[in-house]
Structure 1
Amino acid sequence: MNVMKSSLRHRSSVAAALLPLIVATVVCGVSSSCSKNKQLVTDAVTERDSMPVMTTLDVTSFISDSGIIRYKIVASEWQMFDRRKPPFWAFEKGLYAEKFDTLHNVEARIKADTAYYYTDTEVWTLIGNVHIESTRGETFDTQLMNWNQKTHRVYSDHYIRIVQPERIIEGKGFDSNDQMTEYVIDSIQGIFYVDESEEDSTQNDNKQDTTWTTSIGDSSSR
């Protein structure tokens, strides 16, 4: 009888000793499971937020401002990321755009390999083989250009090549109105006249860091 009591006491003490370990193991298991579930939910939410809310293929769209159609957009693919911070539209398969004046005349034509439009700030970022044509017959080529629709400014800190009817201008740093008629080049790297005789006599003198300003009816440096 004493042996049985001793055995029972021994088993009770062993069980008492093991109980905290069992509880700890169960708690750790539950905690680990909850942590994994929470991580899975977080990953799912993050993945959802990183996905476009809309994808449209072969797009031709007209965008109005104050009830007036001001822009035409043509793209192979248009994705909207409205859950991203900041929210934006992506045109990663190329973009062609036209800007209209109030009479629906084309003020500028724009092409780029990739484009992003940030809806909160109304800023376009054009990337890769950016080509812009103005109504004055000038073309602008660069690898990066920003276009702020709120301030009506077009600007870049990259190399830019401007072809005018009478000359070609190369430089770095650019700021313009969005009609591409009044602009400043921060650092002129070369001015090449279409007339070869003029080019030979002037291009070397103009290869220097300077600022070039042009406006409607005025294409002279100052």
Structure 2
Amino acid sequence: MNTKGINNFRSIAIVFTMAMLFFSCEDNYKRVGDEAIKKMFPSAVAEDFVLTYTETDELPKNEGVVSSHVVAVLKSPLSNDFDNLLFPHRTFPNGLIIEFFNEKGEKSTITADYGIVYSSTNLVDLQGNVVIESSDGKKLEAPQLYWDRSNEWIFTQQKFKYTNPEEGTIMDGEGMDFNRDFSFFNANKTYGYMSIKEKKIEND
């Protein structure tokens, strides 16, 4: 074999070796990447899910009877249970409805496109077209809300729209917190008020 033929053979061998190394590294990279992403699977899936939250009534000790009443009911067409993880939670990918009941039995509702209930912290994360409607007609709209079940408190740092038919006003703002029946409402930042009554008069 002449010198030219030997050089060509060496060049082909080098290119082939480099190609093998490249594909080998690429394959290892892909497999390492797949292993790095831990896939999470729910331990249980429930359709037409209903979860009832109750509160124990305070009774005299000598009564010997334990009484409770319903404070909230959570409903969803689909629930994924991830309570088997280190940070247990339950997701509601197809949306959910939460109904609140006060001492008089009056109902307020929360609807959202997506929800997460964190078991260890008693916190509910509501996302996407979140709407709260109280029994007296008050309405709050926001892209995201948090419900602290332990303290019965609802809050957000997102923008919101609050409609109060009693006062005949609509308020736009950003960041607020309140209790479940709207008896206490605190807005961090407001952009202005619009009177519903004045708007109706102008339309008439």
* TM-score (normalizing by structure 2): 0.69
Q: Which has the larger radius of gyration?
A: 1
Query: Which residue of the partner structure matches residue 115 of structure 1?
Result: 115
Q: In the alignment, which of 29, 53, 58 is matched to residue 63 of structure 1?
A: 53
2:102–2:181 contact (8 Å) kept in structure 1: no
Can you list the C-alpha shifts for 1:182-219, whole angstroms capped at 9, x where unaligned? 1111111120001227999xxxxxxxxxxxxxxxxxxx
Can you list the C-alpha shifts for 1:139-189, whole angstroms capped at 9, x where unaligned? 000001001011121100000000111010000011111222211111111
- In 2, distance between residues paired with 1:197 and 1:113? 31
- Asked whether 1:156 is paired with 2:156, we answer yes
Aligned to 1:195, what secondary structure does the other structure show?
A: helix
Instruction: Write the letter of the residue equivalent to 1:108.
Output: S
Q: 1:111 to 1:58 in 2, by over 3 A?
A: same
- In 2, distance between residues paired with 1:118 and 1:199? 47
Query: Which residue of the partner structure matches residue 178 of structure 1?
Result: 180
Q: 1:64 to 1:92 in 2, by over 3 A?
A: same
User: How many aligned residue pairs are there?
Assistant: 159
1:130–1:144 contact (8 Å) kept in structure 2: yes
1:111–1:130 contact (8 Å) kept in structure 2: yes
Q: 1:147 to 1:174 in 2, by over 3 A?
A: same
In percent, how many aligned pairs have the same letter? 21
Instruction: Structure 1 unaligned segments of length 5 or more: list them.
Output: 1-38, 201-222
User: Which structure 1 residue ranges, 4+ long, deviate > 4 Å from structure 2?
Assistant: 197-200
Query: Which residue of the partner structure matches residue 85 of structure 2?
Result: 84
- In 2, distance between residues paired with 1:85 and 1:93? 24
Aligned to 2:110, what secondary structure does the other structure show?
A: strand
Aligned to 1:82, what secondary structure does the other structure show?
A: coil
* Greater RCO (Cα-Cα under 8 Å, separation 6 or more): 2
Aligned to 1:64, what secondary structure does the other structure show?
A: strand
- In 2, distance between residues paired with 1:177 and 1:61? 21
* TM-score (normalizing by structure 1): 0.64
- In 1, distance between residues paired with 2:49 and 2:199? 47
- In 2, distance between residues paired with 1:181 and 1:199? 29
Instruction: Structure 2 unaligned segments of length 5 or more: list them.
Output: 1-30, 57-67
- In 2, distance between residues paired with 1:160 and 1:76? 26
